[in-house]
Amino acid sequence: MKLNKIIEGCDVQSLIGGTEADVTNISNDSRRIKEGGLFVAVTGFELDGHKFIPGAVANGAKAVVLEDPAAVLKGHADVAWILVRDSREELARIAANFYGHPTEKMTLAGVTGTNGKTSTVFLIQNILKHAGRKTGLIGTIENRIGDRVVATERTTPEADELQALFARMLSEGVDSVVMEVSSHALDLHRVDHCKFHVGVYTNLTLDHLDYHETMENYRDAKAKLFERCQAAVVNMDDPQGGFMLQKAAGKKKLTYGIGREDVDLSAKNLRERLDGVHFTLTHEGREWEAYMQTPGKFSVYNGLAAIGCTLALGIPMEIALQALATESRIRGRFEAFPSPTGYVAIVDYAHAPDGLQNVLQAIREMSEKRVITVFGCGGDRDKSKRPVMGRIAGEMSDYCIITSDNPRTESPERIITDVEVGMQKTGCAYERITDRKAAIHKALSMGEKGDVVLIAGKGHEDYQVLGKEKIHFDDAEVVLEFFKEVRK
Ligand SMILES: CC(=O)N[C@H]1[C@@H](OP(=O)(O)OP(=O)(O)OC[C@H]2O[C@@H](n3ccc(=O)[nH]c3=O)[C@H](O)[C@@H]2O)O[C@H](CO)[C@@H](O)[C@@H]1O[C@H](C)C(=O)N[C@@H](C)C(=O)N[C@H](CCC(=O)O)C(=O)O
Ligand SMILES: Nc1ncnc2c1ncn2[C@@H]1O[C@H](COP(=O)(O)OP(=O)(O)OP(=O)(O)O)[C@@H](O)[C@H]1O
Ligand SMILES: N[C@H](CCC[C@H](N)C(=O)O)C(=O)O
Ligand SMILES: [Mg+2]
């Protein structure tokens, strides 16, 4: 594609060189640039992309988008230098132009909120599949083209990877895509120039203040989705639901909630079991019976969000309910493993206060005896949630083991101490076991008939990040190996 087409609509401050060159690849990562490439130099949080301009040019970049005029390389008249105000914003526009605005040729639904995004997008994809749509999914666990899995590193990919993925989906016949839209992505322009037919709001609770600093900034980042989507599906039981609805002024709206009549889609009469939850659904004066394979009130919210989204996309209620009843299990989300000795271990991805509280609430309502909780908090992430999670776990469990999550570059002991501050206020019996495998083994060896052992925080993750190193680690695998030894 010609460079002038690729930078169409960009806020160009000045330009050195011609724009007739054919550009064959684009990236904001110099290491990915190949002959004929366009490199976008981004001023990052850790590194300055302008420093990698020589590397990008050495790899064959024929155009460079940059914010700092001092970074233009002398003696490279064959390279076009495009000076802009905000490289991240231009990266999104350039990516959409380069890949031909794929989201304008497909149906796109985006889900945002602190908790429930991954769960809800899986439910939506299953409903869309049931309805005969050719689907794509983009989220934390993996991306999917139909049933084929494409690995991912991020909840919401960077703009260039994202547009490339949409284009690939389109070329493989996908007509409907559902994606998680993280607040980071909204704030960092990763989803600019994506045409969202539906935006779904789950909830807003404490997390990511390391990045957003205040809950208002965090809320405003999430709200951007509702300024852009054509139809909004909003949880009115969440205190910020009204705010999101306001942002969607003048658009189609569908509200949901539990046990209330002033919403479009309402659930009542929840009946919880360890293998799922039954409830009664009301929509446009009619009632339906619904079942989902993951228990907990929070699952009902995810179910309502998914039904709301697919109704907004024109899919009949009956199809949505069929899909929910048969395909609503999600890896690492309230995944239950019955032990040979009669207790149940649950692996769950709760890594923020609200998620932990919801999961423990669901377990409390079902467990006959003790609840033993193993958990920790991630390093290099929001520190304010640590004591809060400690308090919640302590208040809602009979015994806790505080362990490591992904300590990253922080001291695991320090993180545990931060969690312990909240735990100590509760009087709950607990211990610290830094090694996650040893912590899980201890909890499983304590389990007796009727108990529930909750292993929270890492869900589907098959790794642990210690320092800068990533090792293989899988909570479910540790549980299953332990049970195998018990059976011997
Ligand atoms: C805040 C954030 O999202 N930061 C991400 C971002 O950092 P950054 O853009 O500031 O980049 P940087 O690492 O400082 O580098 C600056 C620039 O130099 C470039 N570079 C770098 C090295 C090189 O050799 N050549 C080169 O060109 C980079 O591509 C980049 O454009 O781009 C980096 C490279 O792609 C990411 O590693 C980094 O992810 C950080 C580590 C991260 O973990 N992000 C998390 C918080 C995140 O995005 N999470 C959300 C939500 C999670 C949820 O669901 O709750 C997500 O969507 O995943
Ligand atoms: N609707 C919900 N409300 C509150 N908690 C929830 C909800 N759905 C799931 N949870 C809890 O939060 C955890 C994370 O859920 P999920 O992975 O669906 O969220 P997410 O928004 O995708 O998270 P992330 O931001 O890390 O991608 C679950 O394992 C569960 O403990
Ligand atoms: N999307 C979340 C995931 C946290 C998962 C937890 N296991 C951790 O590593 O902190 C985040 O980036 O904050
Ligand atoms: Mg997710």
Reading the block at residue 431, the tokens are 């211990």
Reading the block at residue 259, the tokens are 């046990």
Question: Which numbered atom of ligand 2 lies nearest the CA of 119?
Answer: 18
Catalogue the E-assigned strands of 215-341. 231-235, 252-258, 265-273, 276-283, 286-292, 335-338
Q: What is the pLDDT of residues 326-358, one digit of tens each?
A: 988 899 999 999 999 999 999 999 999 999 999
From residue 117, alpha-carbon distances to 141, 199, 348 in Å are: 11, 11, 14
Q: What is the pLDDT of residue 180?
A: 98
Q: What would the mean pLDDT of 257-263 be, rounded to a whole number? A: 97
387 annotated binding-site participant: no
Q: What is the pLDDT of residue 91?
A: 98
Proximal ligand: closest to the CA of 122? 2
Q: What is the pLDDT of residue 328?
A: 84
405 annotated binding-site participant: yes
CA distance 167 to 145: 11
Cβ atoms within 10 Å of 450's Cβ, excluding its own:
12
Q: Is pLDDT of 189 > 90?
A: yes
Q: What would the mean pLDDT of 90-96 be, rounded to a whole number? A: 98
115 annotated binding-site participant: yes
Proximal ligand: closest to the CA of 382? 3
Distance, C-alpha 301 to centroid of its chain = 16
Q: Is pLDDT of 486 > 90?
A: no
Q: Is pLDDT of 37 > 90?
A: yes
Beta bridge partners of 176: 107, 135
Question: Which numbered atom of ligand 3 lies nearest the CA of 379?
Answer: 10
25 annotated binding-site participant: no
Reading the block at residue 442, the tokens are 């201890």
CA distance 399 to 128: 41
Q: How confident is the model at residue 133 (pLDDT cuts 50, 70, 90)?
A: very high
Q: How confident is the model at residue 367 (pLDDT cuts 50, 70, 90)?
A: confident
Catalogue the E-assigned strands of 161-285. 176-180, 198-201, 231-235, 252-258, 265-273, 276-283
Pocket of ligand 3 (CB under 6 A): 155, 351, 378, 381, 405-406, 457-458, 461
State in Å, rounded, how far the first CA of the chain is from the last one: 63
Q: Is pLDDT of 488 > 90?
A: no
Q: What is the pLDDT of residue 487?
A: 81
Domain annotation for the chain: domains and CATH numbers: 3-98 (3.40.1390.10), 102-326 (3.40.1190.10), 335-487 (3.90.190.20)
Q: What is the pLDDT of residue 272?
A: 86
CA distance 100 to 247: 28
Pocket of ligand 1 (CB under 6 A): 28-31, 42, 44-47, 49, 52, 140, 154-156, 158, 182, 184-185
Q: What is the pLDDT of residue 250?
A: 86
- Residues 2-16 as b/e (b if ≥16 CB within 10 A, e otherwise) read ebeebbeebeeeeee
Helix or strand (DSSP H, E) at 161: helix 159-171
Q: What would the mean pLDDT of 156-181 be, rounded to a whole number? A: 97
Q: How confident is the model at residue 62 (pLDDT cuts 50, 70, 90)?
A: very high
Q: What would the mean pLDDT of 235-259 be, rounded to a whole number? A: 96
Q: What is the pLDDT of residues 98-120, one digit of tens each?
A: 999 999 999 999 999 999 999 99
Residue having the nearest C-alpha atom to atom 27 of ligand 1: 29
CA distance 372 to 428: 11
> Could you tell me what percent of the chain has a pLDDT over 70?
100
Q: Is pLDDT of 368 > 90?
A: no
Average per-residue pLDDT for the chain:
96
Q: Is pLDDT of 275 > 90?
A: no
Question: Which numbered atom of ligand 3 lies nearest the CA of 458?
Answer: 7
Going from the Cα of 126 to the center of ligand 2, the distance in angstroms, rounded, reads: 18
Question: Which numbered atom of ligand 1 lies nearest the CA of 185?
Answer: 57
Q: Is pLDDT of 249 > 90?
A: no
CA distance 456 to 349: 6
Q: What would the mean pLDDT of 296-302 be, rounded to a whole number? A: 95
Q: Is pLDDT of 462 > 90?
A: yes
Going from the Cα of 488 to the center of ligand 1, the distance in angstroms, rounded, reads: 46
Q: pTM of the entire structure?
A: 0.94
Q: What is the pLDDT of residues 405-455, one digit of tens each?
A: 999 999 999 999 999 999 999 999 999 999 999 999 999 999 999 999 999
117 annotated binding-site participant: yes
Q: What is the pLDDT of residues 387-404, one digit of tens each?
A: 999 999 999 999 999 999
Distance, C-alpha 86 to centroid of its chain = 25
Beta bridge partners of 402: 375, 432
Query: Which amino acid does the sequence have at 451?
Result: D
Nearest to 112 by CA among 246, 233, 236, 267: 233
Reading the block at residue 64, the tokens are 């460079």
Q: What is the pLDDT of residue 274?
A: 78
Residue having the nearest C-alpha atom to atom 10 of ligand 1: 44
